[in-house]
Structures are given as C-alpha cells and as structure tokens.
Structure 1
Amino acid sequence: MSSETSSPKRTVKVESNLNLLGVIEKRSLGLKEYRPSYNDSLALKLYSSFSQYEIEKVVREPHFGGIFNLEFSLDGKLLVAACQGKQVLLFDAANQKLINTVEGAHIKCVNCVRFLNDTNFATCSDDASIKIWDVRSIKNCTKTLHGHSNWVKNIEWSEKDDVMVTSAFDGSIYAWNLKTQSENNMMYDKVFLMNGLMRMKLTDDGTKMVIATTNGYMIIIHDLNLTTLATDLRSFRPNLYRLMQVSDQCFPVGTIFNYLFSPNRTRNRIEFIDDFPNEAEVISSLQIHPHGWCAVSRNINSSESEEWTTIHDIQDRDPKDYEDAFTYIEEEELDEGEESEEPLNQRPTDLWMGYISLDEYRNHNRDGSRASMNNWENFQLPAMGILNSGLIGLNSYSAYFRQHPEQRNKVIKNLPRMTHFKEEKTVGKGFIKELCFSSDGRIIASPYDRGVRLLAFNDKCQELCDCVPDNPQKLKTVVKLKDYHEDIVVSCKFSPTHYQLVTGCLGSEIKWYQPVL
C-alpha cells in the first residue's frame, strides 16, 4: 500500500470545538448538519488518513463478476452490492459481514441499487427490468416493473414527487408511482425521451435533473416539474439543438425551442453544459453533490485514449449572465413564393428525415389538433412520419417565425460551468467507473486503476462554497489508495453516516476503508 497526500502537513494542529471522537460519535447518531461545525484542518486530517482496515475475507468468488454499484441504506447500517453475475449482496456495514446473497436477482447483470426508504431498495438490470426489494424479507422481490426496452442504468427517488425515476439506454426516463397496487396497470409515465441518453440524476431536493449523454454534453433541467416535463419537452430534440451549436447552422425545427432556455422560464428550463478539459465524447458516470451545488462526471473521448473527471456548477445563475448568451446565424432562406410552389402531395425531405421515432410518429398521429401559433409551447408538430429541419419544403414553422422573426436565426450559447477537473488512468475499457461524493461533499472518490483516489477541491479540503475558483482548477489528490484490489475498480461509495468508504472491482472483491489515525 502506498499513499499520496496533497499536503504534507499530516501533523497539523487541529483547532476545533469538536475532537475526532466527537465528530464520529455525532455522525454515528445520524446528526448530520448542512455545514459541519468542524474546520477544514480536521477534515483534511480525517480524509488523508483513510486506509483499508483488516477484516475477514468476505467476497473473493469469481462467479459474482464485477461489483458494478454499491449503495448504503439511509441509516448506513446496510450495504448492498449490484453484481455483474446477476446477484445482489447484502452486508452488515458495522462488521462488514456478508449477511445475504440473492442469486439470480435479475436475468442479466445488475447495474444499480437505490434505497427508497429505510427498508426498501430498488435494483435495475440489463434485462430492462426494475425490481423492488424489502430488506426484512429479501428472498423474493416485492415488485417487478417493466417498461424500458433496453439496459436500465439509473434509479433515482424524488421525495418531492413521491415517485421513483429511472433511465435506460432506450433513451427514455420514466417516473414510477409505486403506490399503484397492480403490476399490470400503467405504473409509469414517460417523462423524457432522447437519443444518446447515458445517465440521469436528480438533486436531493428534486428541483433539478441532470442528464449525461453519449454526445459530449450534459443537460440541466432547472425548476424540475416531473408532472409537466413530458408535455413541456414533447417535441424538443436536444441532439438537434446541440448540432446547431457546434455546426453554426440554424434549423427552424430547433430554434423554435429557444424559449426552453429562457432564464425567465419558471419550470423545466433547459441548459446545456459543454465545457470539458478534453474532447469529451461519452459521459459515462454522473453524481450530484449532496447539497446540489455541482455535478461530478467521468468521460472518455472518441478514441477512448483519455478519461477525465470533471466538476460542473449546476446552481441557478443571475439572469443577467444569459443576456448575451446567444448568436445569430445567417441562413439563405427560400421566399414565400418558392415555398408555395412545392407540390402538396410531395414529402419534403432533407438531412433530418427519419429523426422522429416510430413511437413518436404514432403519438403525433393520435393527436391531430393544431394549437394557436401565438402559444408555441402548446403547438403540435404536424402529423407526419418524418421530421425535417424546416429549411426546405412545406413546413409548419413559417407562421410562427412571421410573428417571432428574431428567433429564426438565433442559437443559444452555453455558459461556462466547469470548476475543477482531473485526468484519470485509461484502464478497464468498456466498463463504467462510478464516482461518489462524501456525505459532507468535500471529497470525491474516484476509481483509479486497482484502487481509488480521494480528490478535494483544494489543498485545504475546503467545501466548494468556500473555494470557488475564478478559473477551472485541477482537483487535488488527498490520498491515493493504490493496488488494494487485484482487478480494476469500477465502483465506490461513502457511508451517509460514518467515515467509511467501500470499493468494488471487476474481480468480485469489496474493500472497506476508514480513517486510521
């Protein structure tokens, strides 16, 4: 074992009203504070002293495969592991004993675990299903939920809306009402759909949704309203809008949705994040700061030769910051005469033919209503099997742009939001490495080869609110826990109540860490 500390002051004098035992005792009782009352020096001393502690060997059986996800119960007493080998493992976090193994929890590998309350947790799988479990009777699941058509990778719980929210590689995000009695009823609402959806996370207060994509950008949905999200973003194509931004072209089918980016919008306001330290392609891992201040993500470039961890601020900004965040792009436009000469029975085609999915096509055909052009938020796309850019042929955008000519060639620009970054080792290609925050938000645990690094915002291990940089800065390595595993680490998790860290690797091993002073 070797360690690497960002600051050599391991014997720093701690000036605090709390001693180390007092901090640990307070946290063990679940007495969490929004801003802990101990100072930065104590935090640095605690986290830089993390190391593995010796326990009985609990998991070394290859048939478990990779430990894809780790999740503590809300009280920190249980740890649940999601396994590549289709198992779910339950541990007593106090003594690190394996207390239960659910073989065949899913038909395919288990991807994610999420506790919904003190006794129930949900798992999701590459078999496209979600299952609900009760820790008091773990032999069989209590519900099996079907709706997604591809690998399910994310489970979130919205306390504000009292629903479970899931995302999958089918590009859809579902909100599930678990109070519905029958599994045969429609228990879910499809609240969002896009191509290239990779990860989705909610802030703890349920006011923001952050989406990571396979196209090198992320989406923030501010002032989240799950009830109206599907309606508000019904025909919005994030990838098409992103293409306008990077190609300096305007498509009417995209610019009609400029209103979604307006800082004056009071629900489901869209914002893109595209500033990364590298040419990011796939943003594979995503976590939200416990106070909702920022998002940490991990990305790879198109050639998979670089892998980076990046911090982005996701908080609301002053509306004045958005006043100049747009550009006008001049496009050669057809005049009204040329448009009207297009034969009515000829299908207009261009680059974006087929961009609308079959399901969406059917949905549009079910509703042939036409709303007023003065209220574009309620305007329906025409009932047609294709979606063209609006640049050629007959289209339904001309009347709107006659009333709003300033929007036709206007493309919203993205504000810089990156605050910190760190380059990672490019190992374990094809596997997602799940990051995590410590419960106080000071530390990011990041899988690093066969170990894990604890990263801080600065050398003093301060909270982000106390050290917001003017320009993006490198994350500082507080301690590097190297070579504790025999295979690549792909998951890690901090306890919500104790100074305890757990890591899982592709070789079925689970390791436990805590401050060793």
Structure 2
Amino acid sequence: MATKKVIPTRIGSDLKSTVKFLDVIERRTLGFRNSRFGVDDSIAFKLYNSIYPFHIEQKRPIPTSIGGIFNLEFSLDGKLLVAACEGKQVLIYDAGNQKLIHNILDAHLNCVNCVRFLNDKHFATCSDDTSIKIWDIRKLKYSMKTLHGHSNWVKNIEWSEKDNVMVTSAFDGSIYAWNLKSPNESNMMYDKVFLMNGLMRMKLTEDGTKMIISTTNGFMIIIHDLNLLTLATDLRSFRPSLYRLMQISDQCFPVGTIYNYLFSPTRKRNRIEFIDDFPDVAEVISSLQIHPHGWCTVSRHLNSEETEEWTCVHDIQSRDPEDYKDSYTYINEEFPLEADPDEDSNIRPTDLWMGYISLEEYSNHNRDFSQVSQNMWENFQLPTMGILNTGLIGVNSSFNTYFNQHPDQRNKVIRNLPRMTHFVKEENVGKGFIKELCFSADGRVICSPYDKGVRLLAFNEHCHELSSCVPENPQQLKTVIEMKDYHKDVVVSCKFNPVHHQLVSGCLGSEIKWYQPVI
C-alpha cells in the first residue's frame, strides 16, 4: 500500500527575492564578496524554507527495543550522529549517508538521557541509572570510564572549554564539575559546584562565561561571569527557591535578603540574576538551549495547570548597570523583637518556612528505577524534607551582625528585569515527556518538536539574525516551515548539524527522520 505523501507547510514562501544561488556561487569562485546588503538573509531564508524530509532505507534493521529518542547530538565535524535512547541503547549514524553504523546495547542500566561530544573522538552519555559514561568513538565495545557521584537521574552534560572540565546536572538538584584527566574512574575527581531544590536543566554558553539554570518553579537563573572554581564557595548557602518565594509573596526573610549582594550589577564573579517573565504563569521549564553566539536562551515550559506549552526566547547578555538601578523593592514589615537573653534559654521558637532536600537523604533512599516511567517528571518522588530557619524568630547573631552593618538590605528584595524577546504557543501533546529544542548552527532558526513532526521558527518573517531584529516588546516567533505528521509518534528531540543545513528529529516511536534543503 502506498503511503500518503505529506507536503510541508511553508510560511512566507511568496516573499520576493532577486538573489540567485548560481550567481552567488559564481562570484565566490572568482573571489568576490557579496557586496549587496541582505544577501545572507535572503540565502538563509531560501535554505530554511526549502527543507524537506527524506526517507532512508536502512540495511541494518533498527531494533524496536530502543524506545523513544530522547536526545540527538552531532560530532563536532558534523560527520556522525549519536542518539540517546529510552531502551538503554546508543545509536551511531553516518551523517553523510544517514546509515546506522553502530548500536551500543545496554550502554546504561536505564534510559539514556543525553549525549555530548567532548572533542572529535570522545563523547559522554548520562542516564537515569545516575551514572555518566565516557566513550571513545574508535572503541565502542566498552566505555572508557563510568563516573558516579549523582544520586538521582542525570539529565544534562556540558563541556567547559575555558576550564577544561565536564559539567553535569541531575534531578538530585546538584551540579558537578568533573576533572577527566584522572587515569581511572576509581579516583575520578569531581566538585559539587551548586545545589538547589527544583533544578531541571543546566547549560553553559560557548565561551563558558555564563551558566543558565531552568527550574520546576517557573523561573530561570543566569550566573554571569561564571567561575567554576569558586562557585561552590560563593553560593554555598544561597537558596534560589526561597529568594524567589520572597519575590512573589512580597515578604522579607533574613536568610534570603542577606544574599542581596549576589545580585549586585557591580559584582565581578558569579553574579546572580533571575528570569521570570513569561507569556503565562510558567511552572516546569523542562527544555533549555543556548544561542550559538550566547545571545539568548530558548526554553519550553508548562503552565501550572499543565494545559499549555510555550516556547520562549530570553536575552541573557550582560546589561548596563544603570538598568538595575531601580530593580528592587522595600518591604515594609515590622520584624519580631529579639529575645531577652535573661529569659529561659530552653524556649525554642517555631520558625518553619521552606523544606530542603539533603543529598544524604537521596543516597540512603533506595529506589527501584525499573518501576518508574523514564524521562517523566510527574513520577519523580521526593524523600522527606528538612527544616530551614528564616531568621525571623529568635536570636541569630550572624543575621544581626550583618544587618547592623548593612541596614539598607534588611527589607530589600531584588526585582527581575524583563528579558523575554519572543514566544510562541506549542501543541500540548506527549504529556510528561520533555521536548528538546535546538538552534541552527547560525542561530537564525529554532527547531521545535511539534506534535508528530517539527517546525522551524524565526525571529522575524525574513529569517534575520536576532542582532538585527531585536524587538522593543516581546513578539511572537514566526513559523518558517511546518512539518507536522512525519513521525508515527510524538517528537521529543531534534538537532541541527553544526556544519551543514542538515536536521534530524526523533520520536517516542523509535524513529529518526532526516531533513535537508532541496533547492
């Protein structure tokens, strides 16, 4: 039976352009530059507007046991594609002919969540089995190293070229920096550089100067002027979720306001900034990607009722300190009087505000991972919580000493600058599964999973670079092309080739689709 051919929906294809590819190629072969303004924009629009999917007959049958394709990653030279699969497997393709060349069976003990190339020969994978593995593309029979440190599902791998370390994050709320120069995994050195409740995703900019964190609490964190060596010390007792609660409840707590200095625009190392402007009330910010030039982030989130999904673009560039001049509020509250030292010291006041999760609790909490649905945060179970004292009740000498020296900080709460530039509403399908977005190599286009297909989104209808079309107010992303029914199940991952205008997408039904421009 012949399959029905689905024609992609192309938006804006009636735009007129006098640019001819043959003319451009001829001038380039003669050594001439394109002197006409806007030639690059016209070429980019034509390329992205002419992307078509194509079918590949695989000589090697793809096993149905691979499950969903949770993550896709090209090698640095764009010649290989590696897929992280729900069924504990890792697939490796030749990106030139789109053929499956290797399948790593039982790469992990649970679903594989993320793949990251560290250089041209080595890549890392992470899993819900709480481990990270390092692989050599030339010797795939066994992994080079297996790294243990996280105590819950590991969801993210980043590589800091600046510090020459691998950085990972997990649902235990921790971020680790790994020194891979150790000769074996038994004495592998790692540092816990950050810990917070509700951590969802963590990304580094290409130059390693910023860390972006998305959360399950409806806000994101920018750490400007990132210094991984001092991050753990600088943010040792800072609790972002508690500070966010102060912002939305208009209340002050000494345990939060004592860290106002971390938000100071004059701070030169590990400066904190929150992002909280979304087109609706965001809840779980599940997917996060950084623009290849480090200009902005693209994220995907659910609202609090889990009835809507949105893709949003936020500017993350450093701003003029003057922009932060009035970004704070003073909360007029009367603080409780300090306790009389002559009174009975055995009286212990009650001060309950926020629970926190200890890593020791995670380590001692034995879960049967085979009984939970992979990649689904709705099944994520929290252990018992501890108590955090706000410092409002009772005598706390450290708070009193600090606020005696900085009285202007006691009831001051930092407010967040608006940073959203673009947004678009998504199809609310595949409930519970994370849909991984991606940028094109030039940063002009965002590929977004769209039901059983993908769509390409641009900052404006002409496919301009963001730097030339920054809006004064948030604008809706423009659809360049829509390919909605090319998979047999909901798409949860996509990736652009870093070298060519090649695109791939993966779905929950063990299927990978390839796309390329057809001029």
Q: What's the TM-score once normalised by structure 1's chain length? A: 0.90
Q: Which secondary structure does the structure 2 equivalent of 1:332 belong to? A: coil
Partner of 1:344: 345
Give the AA of the match of 2:149. G
Partner of 2:48: 47
Q: CA deviation at 1:399?
A: 1.5
Q: Is the 8 A contact 1:454 1:478 kept in 2?
A: yes
Partner of 2:389: 388
Q: Which secondary structure does the structure 1 equivalent of 2:185 belong to? A: coil
Q: CA deviation at 1:89?
A: 0.4
Of the candidates 450, 454, 457, which is equivalent to residue 456 of structure 2?
454
Partner of 2:317: 315
Instruction: Show CA shifts across 1:67-95 (max 9, x none).
Output: 00000000000000000000000000000
Q: CA deviation at 1:37?
A: 9.2
* Cα pair distance change 1:38/1:227, threshold 3 Å: farther
Q: Which secondary structure does the structure 2 equivalent of 1:230 belong to? A: helix
Q: CA deviation at 1:343?
A: 4.0
Partner of 2:125: 123
Q: Is the 8 A contact 1:356 1:387 kept in 2?
A: no
Give the AA of the match of 1:80. V
Instruction: Show CA shifts across 1:366-406 (max 9, x none).
Output: xxxxxxxxxxxxxxxxxxx8531111112130111111110
* Cα pair distance change 1:343/1:81, threshold 3 Å: farther
In 1, the alpha carbon distance for the partners of 2:343 and 2:355 equals 20
Partner of 1:29: none
Of the candidates 14, 25, 43, which is equivalent to residue 9 of structure 1?
14
Of the candidates 73, 76, 98, which is equivalent to residue 74 of structure 1?
76
Q: CA deviation at 1:120?
A: 0.1
Q: CA deviation at 1:349?
A: 2.8
In 2, the alpha carbon distance for the partners of 1:23 and 1:184 equals 54
In 1, the alpha carbon distance for the partners of 2:138 and 2:74 equals 15
Instruction: Show CA shifts across 1:26-82 (max 9, x none).
Output: 9xxxxxxxxx99511111100010011232147654211000000000000000000
Q: Is the 8 A contact 1:115 1:121 kept in 2?
A: yes
In structure 1, runs of 5+ residues without a counterpart are 27-35, 361-384
**48-57 vs 68-77, greater mean Cα deviation:** 48-57
Partner of 2:328: 326
Task: Output the aligned Cα RMSD.
Answer: 2.2
Which structure 2 residues correspond to residues 230-245 of structure 1 after superposition, within 5 A?
230-245=232-247
Give the AA of the match of 1:393. G
In 2, the alpha carbon distance for the partners of 1:5 and 1:342 equals 76
Q: Between Structure 1 and Structure 2, how many residues are aligned?
A: 482
**327-336 vs 221-230, greater mean Cα deviation:** 327-336
Give the AA of the match of 2:167. V
Q: CA deviation at 1:421?
A: 0.2
Instruction: Show CA shifts across 1:455-474 (max 9, x none).
Output: 00000100000000000000
* Cα pair distance change 1:130/1:334, threshold 3 Å: same
Q: What's the TM-score once normalised by structure 2's chain length? A: 0.89
Q: Is the 8 A contact 2:197 2:357 kept in 1?
A: no
Q: Which secondary structure does the structure 2 equivalent of 1:490 belong to? A: strand
Q: Is the 8 A contact 1:89 1:102 kept in 2?
A: yes
Partner of 2:178: 176
In 2, the alpha carbon distance for the partners of 1:23 and 1:492 equals 32
Q: Is the 8 A contact 1:340 1:394 kept in 2?
A: no
Q: Is the 8 A contact 1:236 1:257 kept in 2?
A: yes
Which structure 2 residues correspond to residues 68-467 of structure 1 after superposition, within 5 A?
68-336=70-338, 338=339, 340=341, 343-352=344-353, 355=356, 357=358, 386-395=387-396, 396-467=398-469
Instruction: Show CA shifts across 1:167-209 (max 9, x none).
Output: 0000000000000123122510000000000000000000000
In 1, the alpha carbon distance for the partners of 2:175 and 2:417 equals 25
Partner of 2:382: none
In 2, the alpha carbon distance for the partners of 1:197 and 1:216 equals 11
Residue identity over aligned pairs, in percent, reads 71
Of the candidates 461, 474, 477, which is equivalent to residue 475 of structure 1?
477
Q: Which secondary structure does the structure 2 equivalent of 1:479 belong to? A: strand
Instruction: Show CA shifts across 1:392-428 (max 9, x none).
Output: 1121301111111100000000000000001000000
Give the AA of the match of 2:408. E
